[in-house]
Amino acid sequence: MRVLFATAEVYPLAKTGGLADASRGLAIALKRRGIDVQLVVPGYADALERVERPETVAKLDSVMGVCDATLVRGLLPRSNIPVWLVNAPTLFQRRGGLYQDEHGRDWADSAVRFAYFARAAHGLATGRYGSAWRPDIVHANDWHAGLLPLLLRSEQSPGPRTVFTVHNMAFQGNFPMDVLPSLDIPCGFHDNIEFHGQVSFLKAGLSCADRVTTVSPTYAKEVLTPECGCGMDGVLRARSDHFSGILNGIEDTTWNPATDPWLPCGYIVKDRSGKGVCKLALQQEFGLAKDPGAVVIGFISRLTEQKMADAVLQLLPWLANLPVQFALMGNGDRETEIGLVKEAWQHKGKVSVKIGYDERLAHLMIAGSDILLAPARFEPCGLTQLYALRYGTLPVVRRTGGLADTITDVTAASIKDGSASGFIFDEPTAEGLRSAIERALDTYHKPLRWRALQRHVMAKDLGWNSSAERYVALYSEVSATDCIETDGEDAAVQAPQPREALN
Ligand code: ADP
């Protein structure tokens, strides 16, 4: 089975959040299962620099005003997985972030950037660029790759089958209707991309893919309701027979406290002394008093309403008056950033805030904290709470989406049956979060119980194994079903001929 996995992010080539980790983790797990998986990602400057053994293999079509693009083939570092980079310098090599400029404004040509990405991936999947490798399945991820299932569906000849995974329904790639002419959408497919007077890349993926998935079973149920569907619940209900939730996992080569190269000292379940060394390093880096006995609460997140960063800000004066240390790293909403920095200034030595994005520090915070806050108003899956478990750090989460699927509240009963793994609250408010932090601190002060919890959560199987099996089953199902559906129908239509290959 050959799978082309299209994603805007994959660690370590490009990352702004969980999509990058999930793309890497799933690709590695699929490869371990004998799937011939290859990735296609935008050719950001960092990605071109970090990819192993890059080689330009084809010139890409001059369309949508892009004339100088090439296809680069290389390997995803530390994996041996082939990666194709859509090297369109005018679209992807800029100062700023993957999706935004240096001032945090979305790139004005986002629609063209990802429409071009989808076109290039489509050409690759259908043999347009001379590659002998052709996928059986194209697995497109999030709105950035949303046009890919549409383009493949519009093909006359039977091409690869498509799976579309949504990692967050709130990010939809919606643009004003006037971008439509520049996207060159095939005739008959305008309904698949029109969404309440706008163009929606997410809708294109949801409505055109053979199968649609999201990243946890509970979120898959939630998004079918008007309250949680971000306006897409109707589109999803129409696809409900072909829609399911498959939980993300942890990629063990990157997130493992025993081998993590970002940590000053590794540790294992049976000997967690290295975790204490990480705590001291964390305190040092964050300007907190170096005290092995202090309780450290961490928060690493996008600073957005989704992640309840406003509620965390509201709680800082309360936290600062407790015998705890608080370390936060994140970026996002400007007002929240300013508020957090002000609070940290007022409670120097007890509350420390770093506005920014730093992979090394994220690992150190997860290892060095005792308690990790991972609250959310909604959460498709969430990975930080899983990393916390793996590193023996107890998470505080809200009962929603993937958080509800991955964490079992610490109660007398769950401790007894061995399922306890974190502190859950229900109300999406600062008050709700506060009550769960209080419970976590209470438990922390029962050292025997805390240590037992740490041992237990660290030993949990949080890897990709069972979820990768489910994707493989889905790929097999969609291949088999659609072979029958298209049997004979399009067999006479010739596949497009490869052209413009450089070698
Ligand atoms: P998201 O909704 O942001 O994708 P997840 O919990 O699924 O949330 O994944 C977040 C990922 O991004 C984790 O790997 C986490 O460590 C990382 N992360 C979040 N904020 C930062 C930051 N400021 N610096 C470094 N890594 C971060």
60 secondary structure, DSSP code: P
Ligand 1 neighbour 357 (Cβ under 6 A): yes
Q: Looking at the predicted structure, is the pLDDT value of residue 118 above 50?
A: yes
Q: What is the pLDDT of residue 157?
A: 80
Residue nearest to atom 9 of ligand 1 (CA): 18
DSSP H/E element including 487: none
Q: Which segments within 291-405 are labelled E, that is strand?
A: 295-303, 324-332, 351-355, 371-374, 394-398
Q: For position 488, what pLDDT does the model report?
A: 32
- pLDDT one-digit tens code per residue, 456-489: 999 999 999 999 999 999 999 999 875 434 333 3
Judge if the beta carbon of residue 254 lies within 6 A of ligand 1. Answer: no
- For residue range 423-447, list pLDDT tens digits in order: 999 999 999 999 999 999 999 999 9
Cβ–ligand 1 contact at 384 (below 6 Å): yes
How many A from CA of 81 to the centre of ligand 1?
23
Atom of ligand 1 nearest to the CA of 22: 7
Determine what percent of the chain is predicted with pLDDT higher than 70. Answer: 96
User: Which residues are within 8 A (CB) of 149 and not within 5 positions of it... i.e. 6 or more apart?
Assistant: 138, 140, 162, 164, 204, 205, 208, 209, 210
Say whether pLDDT at 449 is over 70.
yes
- Measured over the CA atoms of residue 375, residue 358, residue 173 and residue 105, the dihedral's sign is positive
CA 297, chain centre distance (Å): 23
Decide: 358 in ligand 1 pocket, CB within 6 A: yes
pLDDT tens digits, 235-292: 999 999 999 999 999 998 899 999 999 999 999 999 999 999 999 999 999 999 999 9
User: Taking 80 as the threshold, does the pLDDT of residue 491 lie above it?
Assistant: no
Residue 266: predicted pLDDT: 98
Question: For ligand 1, is residue 382 a contact (CB within 6 Å)?
Answer: yes
Question: What is the distance between the alpha carbons of residues 246 and 90, in angstroms, rounded to a whole number?
Answer: 36
Dist. CA 481–CA 487, nearest whole Å:
10
Asked if 24 and 30 count as a contact pair (C-beta separation under 8 A), the reply is: no
pLDDT in tens, 50-82: 999 999 999 999 999 999 999 999 999 999 999
Residue owning the nearest CA to atom 3 of ligand 1: 17
CA of 76 to the centre of ligand 1 (A): 20
Question: What's the whole-model pTM score?
Answer: 0.94
Q: Tell me, using a 6 A CB cutoff, whether residue 21 lines ligand 1.
A: yes
Mean pLDDT, range 97-104, rounded to an integer: 91
Least confident span in 3-7, 228-232, 398-402, 493-497: 493-497
Distance 359 CA to ligand 1 centre (A): 9
- Preceding peptide of 498 cis, ω within 30°: no
- The pLDDT tens digits for 379-401 are 999 999 999 999 999 999 999 99
Residue 8 to residue 60: CA distance in whole angstroms: 18
pLDDT of residue 482: 53
Q: What is the pLDDT of residues 299-356, one digit of tens each?
A: 999 999 999 999 999 999 999 999 999 999 999 999 999 999 999 999 999 999 999 9
Q: Strand, coil or helix: what is 83?
A: strand
